[in-house]
Structure 1
Amino acid sequence: MKLFLILGAINGFLAVALGAFGAHGLEDKLSEKALGTWDKAVTYQMFHTMALLVTGLLLAKFQSGGMIWAGWLFFAGIVLFSGSLYTYSTTGIKVFALITPLGGVAFLAGWILLGYSVSKYL
């Protein structure tokens, strides 16, 4: 699905840009713990950007509802997991940290669906 390739490219750009911003723009503004949280958000965003790209490439060859769901779950996970960590690390508002596990569950479900779908087609 071309959309997942586009979302992957956008998220790859954002992960690099946000990683650089965290390293150079926030280093004197956030605590070490908050910077560590920011870095975790960048890392998970980039890993799951790669998952979006792989899903998009697989969908170009195999049309699978499970793979489509996996792609959407990876995208939702990036928004919920990384997005909540970016917000929490810069604001300190704890409610955002409570959203993070929902993104983690989306990531896990996406990997399960991708694995299941690949096992059916490859």
Structure 2
Amino acid sequence: MNNFFLQAGSLLGAIGVMVGAFGAHALKPMLVASGRFETFETAVRYQFYHALALVLVGILAKEFTAKTLNYSGYCFLVGTLIFSGSLYLICFTGITTFGAIAPIGGTLLVVAWLLLFWTVLKR
């Protein structure tokens, strides 16, 4: 197992719960008023999906020793931080220019899934 990816996924999941709950309760009026509630939900949802993916990569590291699995984990982590992070920044600052950064994170997430696929395929 890869403890780094297990820890990173667990931490992203915990933060996702906290940020999601805070947004659904304390921040909802502000997010609805600014028209950013759906953006916020997308950021939280993708953070959760990829927190679970990181945990999966951490567990799979016990069976797969390929470097591509590690690359997949790093792409999941950085992609999540960039994608969800840029959406959070849009929600909290109102600066829509951060939306230009989201596709970089999204691309890294796609690459992560493809690297995971490649790792399993080449076993």
Q: TM-score, with normalisation over the residues of structure 2?
A: 0.94
Superposition deviation, residue 31 in structure 1: 2.6
Residue 86 (structure 2) aligned to one of 76, 84, 87: 84
Superposition deviation, residue 90 in structure 1: 1.4
Structure 1 unpaired stretches of 5+: none
Residue 110 (structure 1) aligned to one of 109, 112, 121: 112
Superposition deviation, residue 89 in structure 1: 1.0
Superposition deviation, residue 34 in structure 1: 0.4
What is the match of residue 41 of structure 1? 43
Aligned residues: 121
**What is the alpha-carbon root mean square deviation over aligned residues?**
1.0
Residue 97 (structure 2) aligned to one of 95, 98, 104: 95
Superposition deviation, residue 100 in structure 1: 0.5
1:39 maps to amino acid: E
1:6 maps to amino acid: Q
Q: TM-score, with normalisation over the residues of structure 1?
A: 0.95
1:69 maps to amino acid: Y
Superposition deviation, residue 18 in structure 1: 0.8
Q: Whole-Å Cα distance in 1 between the matches of residues 78 and 16 of structure 2?
A: 15
Structure 1 runs, 4 residues or longer, greater than 3 Å off: none
What is the match of residue 8 of structure 2? 7
What is the match of residue 23 of structure 2? 22
Superposition deviation, residue 19 in structure 1: 0.6
1:73 maps to amino acid: C
Superposition deviation, residue 119 in structure 1: 1.2
Contact between 2:64 and 2:119, CA under 8 Å: does it hold in 1?
no
Structure 2 unpaired stretches of 5+: none
Query: Kindly, what percent of the aligned residue pairs are identical?
Result: 38
Q: Whole-Å Cα distance in 1 between the matches of residues 96 and 26 of structure 2?
A: 23
The secondary structure found in structure 2 opposite 1:62 is coil
What is the match of residue 62 of structure 2? 60
The secondary structure found in structure 2 opposite 1:104 is helix
Superposition deviation, residue 25 in structure 1: 1.2
